Structure 1
Amino acid sequence: MKSFSGQAAVVGIGATEFSKDSGRSEWRLAAECVNLALQDAGLTPNDVDGMVLFTMENNPEIAVARALGIPELKFFSRIPHGGGAAAAPLQQAAIAIATGVAEVVVVYRAFNERSGHRFGSGPPPFAYVTTTDQEYRNWINPYGLLTPAQQEAMFARRYMWQYGATSEDFGRVSVLSRKHAATNPKAWFYERPITLDDHQNSAMIADPLRLLDCCQESDGGQAIVVTSVERARDLVPNPAVIVAAAQGIGPQQISMSSYSRRDIVSMPEVELVARQLWQQAGITPNDVDAAILYDAFTPMVLLQLEEYGFCGRGEAADFIREGNLELDGRLPVNTHGGQLGEAYIHGVNGVAEGVRLIRGTSVNQPNKRVENVLVTGGTAVPHSALVLRTDGIS
């Protein structure tokens, strides 16, 4: 079976500013970020023949193609499950390119998630439509689990009970993200670091999750351009090669609320993705030099460290306390500030930071050589992730 591993690379990244009130339509945000990503790649709209989006994207490919003057699209697809899809569009783009279906594929996510519909305000309008996709809400809404924070608080509390983790352990993730955001001029929380005391004194949102355990609500757009490795070498000096990309759904999977599993603080869908990534890339967790871990809520960073094999079950709190996630640590994490510190663009801005780490242009570039970067999508939902690598690394 032919593998798509190492056949495609990211050559362009582009983003609007990240704000709380963009003052313009989501359609315009989408067009702006795609145009910037194409400029970064040294390409034009005429070069684009494919697009991959989230099903939650409100700006369809036909609208953005019209706005930018893209003449024709040979390939387009959509990935469901919200933030769990953050890396999956890159997988689809890489497969399309490796099989010759498309030559230049654009991925974008654009929304006014702060000035428009706020995810933290409760179920969106489509949640009240009686479809199979939404049937799980019948089992959680009556108990007051209406928002993502309320749903993920269940996992967090169980993890604390099972492994002895504390709110301070979650807080260290938040402090680190804000530390990195404070030196990132594009981050919403630029020059605004926090302390662990700030975290502990922040408002309780859904016990045990505090305000500073929860990601932002942001307006903005982020786009990624993918093409073949051969073409990439002619376009940019340091293409980020997609050497692995995977999706996963685990047993008894329910969106945000897989509470019927024997162990609700294990995430078999993440372990499934990890297994595929290491096999495709031909590496182990020890070979990963930096990671962008989806941080919609701080406890999920701890669970990912364990599911991806960077530490054992229940050991993530100690792994973080030992400084392993710092820039000079074993595994620098969320060097852009993450969704906690930079912006919440459904994880696609995390893919862009993974590319910058490969290029060596992150504002918080680790001192060591970065060859393999892990980028993950949302957790507690069907999951996706990818591994980016510097060109020429066997």
Structure 2
Amino acid sequence: MTWEHSNKTAIVGVGATPYYLRGQSWPRTVNEMIGEAILNACADAGLSVKEIDGFAYYASAMAGYTDKMDTASIMEMLGIPEVTFTATLTSGGGGSAGSIGLASAAILAGEANYVVTVMSLQQRAQRLGTVFGAVKPDPEVSFLQPAGLVGPGHLMSVLARRHMHLYGTRREAFAEVAISSRNNALNRPKAIRRKPLTLEEYFESPMLADPLCRLDFCLETDGAVAVITTSTERARDLKQKPVLVRAAAHGGRREWGRAFGWMGMSDEYFASSGHKSVADRLYAKAGITAADVDVALIYDHFTPMVVMQLEDYGFCAKGEGGPFVESGAIRMGGSIPVNPHGGQLSEAYIIGMTHIVEGVEQLRGTAINQVPDAQFALVTGGPASIPVSGLILEKSA
């Protein structure tokens, strides 16, 4: 049964800063980039920034792992007179897609009219790639640090190796994810990586955490992205054609738990993205299946997790993600185009927000690499510690 609130909210504005290589946004501040992204989203929607009355964050309102996004500071900076809703999903990038569900919940409950979701990232003080090695030891990370598992990539390598062991997945599948993403970024002016990538170059890339080489890792970038959600009724009076929120879901099973930060899962979850239960709820709420999705914006912090999410979201059977990807299915013109914007592997890594922007542009029909006649877009967040999340957007009539 379709969710009773399907298509009652819509995304009406998206905005971003330029994307910078890690640390090169300095001397700009995190707040300055937040302000630019929100103002650009307001301009895109045809709204005054003073009409913003809600904030829906994720990652516990952290900008990366060292900076904080503070509603009061943003209000002061932009001259927003009053907010009636401000909240966040917990944990990290797993909540990026679900944050639009949080914004929608506020709107449907009558708590706010125009809700902004924003993420800003500046890796000048601390690289996200080594964050677990930088924190003080505690009962959880003390299991990881002595094993040299100092960053998300090292931890993901363990899950990737397990998938290879169980299902015969090859590194060629991970290479195809990287190459397909790079192909999609070649014609994007803002993309960080726009040089063609060959299979030979992939296998020559330095090994960082076996079986993951440098090209299996997402970019380390700075920048900010903002998205504005409102009711579908209000959206029809604004500048852009609304992109409807068909369904959103977040959460996850206890067996997935802290994900790659604890390694206590059974094989069903160990060699997965942790999204299966969320995917099932998302499709049930949307009243569609994977076969109805026209374009997938899959969170691609590491190439193997794209393979595993394709399984969890039903584009192929469990354990068949490797051959599915190697077949060319995720390329433009394939059975399910994935990340036409180049994703976090080649365009920019702003903790999932660029995927929401691309989903909106695909359904507006304004994407640089447009999927013909796209009606439904899937956006995912994570895989990371609970919550992981998914979002289905629909083109409006």
Tell me the TM-score normalized by structure 2. 0.93
State the alpha-carbon separation in 2 of the partners of residues 269 and 210 from structure 1.
23
State the alpha-carbon separation in 2 of the partners of residues 311 and 271 from structure 1.
12
State the alpha-carbon separation in 1 of the partners of residues 165 and 154 from structure 2.
17
Q: Which moved more, 1:249-258 or 1:228-237?
A: 249-258
State the alpha-carbon separation in 2 of the partners of residues 315 and 95 from structure 1.
36
State the alpha-carbon separation in 2 of the partners of residues 140 and 129 from structure 1.
9
8 Å contact kept, 1:117–1:124 = no
Counterparts of 1:286-301 in structure 2, within 5 Å, are: 286-301=291-306
State the alpha-carbon separation in 1 of the partners of residues 259 and 231 from structure 2.
34
User: Which of 221, 226, 229 matches 1:223?
Assistant: 226
1:85 match: 95
State the alpha-carbon separation in 2 of the partners of residues 98 and 117 from structure 1.
38
Counterparts of 1:24-35 in structure 2, within 5 Å, are: 24-35=28-39
SS at match of 1:128: coil
State the alpha-carbon separation in 1 of the partners of residues 25 and 147 from structure 2.
35
State the alpha-carbon separation in 2 of the partners of residues 268 and 362 from structure 1.
27
8 Å contact kept, 2:253–2:274 = yes
State the alpha-carbon separation in 2 of the partners of residues 124 and 240 from structure 1.
40
Structure 1 stretches of 4+ with a deviation exceeding 6 A read none
Deviation at 1:231, TM superposition (A): 1.2
User: Which of 36, 42, 49 matches 1:38?
Assistant: 42
Root-mean-square deviation (Å): 1.7
1:199 aligns to 2:202 (yes or no):
yes
Residues 153-179 of structure 1 show CA distances to partners (whole Å, capped at 9, x for unaligned) of 000111111111111110110001111
Deviation at 1:307, TM superposition (A): 0.5
SS at match of 1:369: coil
1:369 match: 373
SS at match of 1:291: strand
State the alpha-carbon separation in 2 of the partners of residues 121 and 254 from structure 1.
17
Deviation at 1:317, TM superposition (A): 1.6
State the alpha-carbon separation in 1 of the partners of residues 273 and 179 from structure 2.
28
Deviation at 1:129, TM superposition (A): 7.1
1:13 match: 14
Alpha-carbon distance change, 78 to 272 in structure 1, aligned in 2, over 3 angstroms: same
User: Which of 156, 159, 164 matches 1:152?
Assistant: 156
Q: Which letter maps to 2:130?
A: S
Q: Percent identity?
A: 38
Residues 54-97 of structure 1 show CA distances to partners (whole Å, capped at 9, x for unaligned) of 31232211111111111000000012221111112111101111
State the alpha-carbon separation in 1 of the partners of residues 137 and 8 from structure 2.
41
SS at match of 1:388: strand
1:242 match: 245
8 Å contact kept, 2:244–2:394 = yes
State the alpha-carbon separation in 1 of the partners of residues 312 and 377 from structure 2.
16
1:128 match: 136
Deviation at 1:297, TM superposition (A): 0.2
2:172 match: 168
8 Å contact kept, 2:119–2:351 = yes
8 Å contact kept, 2:172–2:326 = no
State the alpha-carbon separation in 2 of the partners of residues 268 and 379 from structure 1.
5
Deviation at 1:117, TM superposition (A): 1.7
Deviation at 1:249, TM superposition (A): 2.0
SS at match of 1:154: helix
Alpha-carbon distance change, 223 to 268 in structure 1, aligned in 2, over 3 angstroms: closer
Residues 132-173 of structure 1 show CA distances to partners (whole Å, capped at 9, x for unaligned) of xxx421222222211111100000111111111111110110
Q: Which letter maps to 2:347?
A: E
Deviation at 1:329, TM superposition (A): 1.1
SS at match of 1:223: strand
State the alpha-carbon separation in 2 of the partners of residues 123 and 199 from structure 1.
26
8 Å contact kept, 1:136–1:254 = no
Deviation at 1:370, TM superposition (A): 0.4
1:186 match: 190
1:323 aligns to 2:324 (yes or no):
no
User: Which of 71, 96, 104 matches 1:94?
Assistant: 104
State the alpha-carbon separation in 2 of the partners of residues 124 and 265 from structure 1.
22
Q: Which letter maps to 1:5?
A: S
Residue ranges of structure 1 left out of the alignment (5+ in a row): none
Q: Which letter maps to 2:90?
A: P
- Alignment length (residue pairs): 384
Tell me the TM-score normalized by structure 1. 0.94
SS at match of 2:323: helix
SS at match of 1:152: helix
8 Å contact kept, 1:250–1:268 = no
1:355 match: 360
Residue ranges of structure 2 left out of the alignment (5+ in a row): none
State the alpha-carbon separation in 1 of the partners of residues 160 and 394 from structure 2.
32
State the alpha-carbon separation in 2 of the partners of residues 276 and 5 from structure 1.
13
State the alpha-carbon separation in 2 of the partners of residues 209 and 348 from structure 1.
24
Deviation at 1:122, TM superposition (A): 3.4
8 Å contact kept, 1:152–1:257 = no
Q: Which moved more, 1:51-60 or 1:201-210?
A: 51-60
8 Å contact kept, 1:11–1:226 = yes
